[in-house]
Amino acid sequence: METKSPHTGDLPREAALIVNVHSRRGEALFKDAKALLEQAGVRLTAAHAVREPDRLQETVRQAIAQGAPMVIVGGGDGSLSGTVDELVGKDCVFGVLPLGTANSFARTLGIPLDLEGAVAAIANGRRRRIDLGMIDRDYFVNAASLGLSPRIGETVPHRLKRYLGRAGYLLWAVKCSIGFRAFRLVLHDGVQERRLWSTEVRILNGPYHGGVELSDQADVDTGEIVIQAVVGRSHARLAWDWYAKFFRLRDRDAQTEEFRGQSFRIETLPPQRISIDGEVLAKTPVTVRIAPGAVDVAVP
């Protein structure tokens, strides 16, 4: 008789729902999500509309401590990344309601971006054990970046992001590129050191960043982290790289170099801020590594 692995198969029918109502669509969709989950047969042991993003992690921690077999987090990639640390090492499934601007993590997992589809994945889907990325001791779900992206993420007005979505990011990127300079990247994998000029470095646990598919090599169950550097000192090359990847042109990888492995030391001259799933939370130098099979997520 075949026995199921504890990390595959059916999803719990009970869960705590925690929604960041500060996210782009959170306030409007919290009540809808609650009703749809209950209609789909998921019994909610708790439902929290969190208005202060700083309280999300604490709310998730409490739900896990109270024995929730699944915690469903609604918000953008930053909300998901900021709460996933609480699930590492716990027998609790991570449910994802993509309510943000880019929703890169949901895209990676194949979770529908509409509320009904995301709820169906949680109610009728399966468990999938995935890797997480780590920057020093901080876990992240999808991608981190240094260079121009953190400058955009740190300064983009919330209203622009809320009402224009990805188009708002694009407009702000043009503004932020004025005065931005390339930097020296020093990358060490424990054996070999590489030095190169770069305008942007992406640290990928999945193929998407900013809602755009950037890498064919990165995924959440490879056991490796991917470092992708836009090489050279030219702003035009960086702009072309985003354009080519956004429209999936044949030569979309011409401006980048990729490095794959389990751990890297990243240094830059001058030091660069690091955006982790859209939130600027760290600064070089850092150690980046993969945390293999770190959490269970609900997928279609």
- State the pLDDT confidence band at 27, using cuts at 50, 70 and 90: confident
Q: Is the pLDDT of residue 167 over 70?
A: no
Question: Based on the domain organization, do 45 and 190 belong to the same domain?
Answer: no
In a domain, 5, yes or no: no
Task: Name the percent of the chain lying above pLDDT 70.
Answer: 89
> Alpha carbon of 16 to those of 21, 32, 36, 78, 110: distances in Å?
15, 15, 14, 19, 22
Q: Is the pLDDT of residue 164 over 70?
A: no
Torsion (CA) 275, 281, 287, 289 in degrees, nearest 10: -70
Question: Based on the domain organization, do 118 and 159 belong to the same domain?
Answer: no
How much is the pLDDT for 4?
37
Q: Is the pLDDT of residue 6 over 50?
A: no
Question: Based on the domain organization, do 285 and 143 belong to the same domain?
Answer: yes
For the chain, what is the mean pLDDT? Answer: 90
Domain boundary among 91, 109, 131: 131
pLDDT digits (tens, 9 = 90+) for 173-215: 677 677 788 999 999 999 999 999 999 999 999 999 988 899 9
Q: Give SS3 for 296.
A: strand
Q: Give SS3 for 46.
A: strand
> Alpha carbon of 15 to those of 69, 153, 159, 191: distances in Å?
6, 32, 32, 45
How much is the pLDDT for 149?
74
Domain boundary among 85, 109, 131: 131
Q: Is the pLDDT of residue 18 over 90?
A: yes
Write the CATH number for 26: 3.40.50.10330
Question: Based on the domain organization, do 23 and 77 belong to the same domain?
Answer: yes
Range of the domain at 78: 14-131
Average pLDDT over residues 137-163: 80
How much is the pLDDT for 243?
86
Distance of CA 222 to the CA centre of its chain: 16
Q: Is the pLDDT of residue 5 over 50?
A: no
Question: Based on the domain organization, do 144 and 287 belong to the same domain?
Answer: yes
Question: Based on the domain organization, do 84 and 38 belong to the same domain?
Answer: yes
Question: Based on the domain organization, do 153 and 121 belong to the same domain?
Answer: no
Question: Based on the domain organization, do 151 and 176 belong to the same domain?
Answer: yes
How much is the pLDDT for 100?
87
Token pair of 165, please?
Answer: 């979505």
pLDDT digits (tens, 9 = 90+) for 206-245: 999 988 899 999 999 999 999 999 999 988 888 888 889 9
Q: Is the pLDDT of residue 78 over 60?
A: yes
In a domain, 144, yes or no: yes
How much is the pLDDT for 175?
73
Contacts of 43 (CB under 8 A, 6+ apart): 13, 14, 15
pTM across the whole model: 0.89
How much is the pLDDT for 23?
66
pLDDT-wise least confident of 32-41, 157-166, 234-243 = 157-166
Question: Based on the domain organization, do 283 and 147 belong to the same domain?
Answer: yes
How much is the pLDDT for 1?
36
Question: Based on the domain organization, do 101 and 126 belong to the same domain?
Answer: yes
pLDDT-wise least confident of 98-107, 121-130, 266-275 = 98-107
Write the CATH number for 153: 2.60.200.40
In a domain, 247, yes or no: yes
Average pLDDT over residues 60-71: 97
In a domain, 22, yes or no: yes
How much is the pLDDT for 2?
33
In a domain, 62, yes or no: yes
Distance of CA 88 to the CA centre of its chain: 16
How much is the pLDDT for 165?
64
Q: Is the pLDDT of residue 156 over 80?
A: no
In a domain, 1, yes or no: no
Domain boundary among 73, 105, 131: 131
pLDDT digits (tens, 9 = 90+) for 282-297: 999 999 999 999 999 9
In a domain, 298, yes or no: no
Question: Based on the domain organization, do 287 and 144 belong to the same domain?
Answer: yes
In a domain, 299, yes or no: no
Report how many domains make up the chain.
2
Bigger pLDDT: 31 or 5? 31
Q: Is the pLDDT of residue 39 over 60?
A: yes
Question: Based on the domain organization, do 287 and 146 belong to the same domain?
Answer: yes
